[in-house]
Amino acid sequence: MAEDGGAIRVERWGAVLVVTIDRPHFRNAIDNDAAWAIAAAMDRLDAEQDLFLGILTGAGGVFSAGADLKAARLGPRPLPDRGNFGFCRKPPNKPLIAAIEGFALGGGLEMALACDLIVAACGARMGLPEVRHNLVAVGGGAFRLPKRLPFHVAVEIALTGQPRPAEFFHQFGLVNRLAAPGEALAEAKRLAEELLANGPLALAATARIMRASADWTEEEAWRLQEPIVDAVRHSEDRAEGLRAFAERRPPVWSGR
């Protein structure tokens, strides 16, 4: 059952929370209300034990044009604790897949960069055009993009402001999977099904460690991963995983 939040739609697909940016007449640009609605959806994803991962997509064949610049002219408004676009500063603890159609520009690309995995339709356009409006990509794009792409490739994208097709980003590994136009969400769900075969607590812990560890030394990594791993080590799902292995059957995960 889909839940209509005005700026976004939220729908459960089994253990997956599908969050759809639903402002197609504004090219799914994010205003303050949309940012808060996305933040609420991410809070829900983290809070509900029987939700194991999320998918973020856009309505009307478009992912997002980024910030709603017309709304921004009204002046600054308080951001959610999760930061720009509802989650770029603090993504959910559970894995999140971006399903991109049409284009992901500016904040649209920054939202994709805040996700763990990216599925994009062939021909979709992605980029950081902020400099063309004398703006700076402050939603994470300026520092996340050069960590995901070769440095000079990322700098060219950011300083020219010119979008590139999804195929370009796929060849550098930023896009995990390409889909036929109109099929990005379906392909993201297929990817989600592959993840759902695995222990949900282990998925979340692994994603958290991989996100955070880019800034850890190896010595720090051994210490800082421990409290994240500890909850998985003592979970019901760990015991279920071992039982299922011994009994040669698929595990039934509870998220506990």
67: domain CATH number is 3.90.226.10
Q: Do the beta carbons of residue 54 and residue 98 sit within 8 Å?
A: no
The tokens of 99 are what? 């399903």
Instruction: Give φ, ψ of 220 to 5 degrees.
Output: -65, -35
Angle subtended by helix axes 236-247 and 226-233, to nearest 10: 60
The answer on 27 and 86 residing in a single domain is yes
The answer on 132 and 67 residing in a single domain is yes
The answer on 78 and 182 residing in a single domain is yes
pLDDT of residue 76: 65
| Cα dist from 193 to 15, 52, 56, 164, 190, whole Å | 10, 11, 15, 29, 5
254 inside domain: no
110 is catalytic: yes
91 inside domain: yes
pLDDT of residue 3: 59
Catalytic residue among 101, 110, 236, 247: 110
For residue 20, what are the contacts with CB-CB under 8 A and spacing of at least 6? Answer: 8, 9, 10, 11, 57, 58, 59
The answer on 102 and 216 residing in a single domain is no
256 inside domain: no
Round to whole Å and give the CA distance between 117 and 126: 15
Number of domains in the chain: 2
The tokens of 213 are what? 């560890």
Catalytic residue among 130, 156, 167, 236: 130
247 is catalytic: no
Place of tokens 């993201």: 188
- Tell me the pLDDT of the chain (256 aa) as tens digits: 455 556 999 999 999 999 999 999 999 999 999 999 999 999 999 999 999 999 999 999 999 999 997 766 555 678 899 999 999 999 999 999 999 999 999 999 999 999 999 999 999 999 999 999 999 999 999 999 999 999 999 999 999 999 999 999 999 999 999 999 999 999 999 999 999 999 999 999 999 999 999 889 999 999 999 999 998 999 999 999 999 999 999 999 999 9
The answer on 227 and 178 residing in a single domain is no
The answer on 218 and 159 residing in a single domain is no
Range of the domain at 240: 200-247
255 inside domain: no
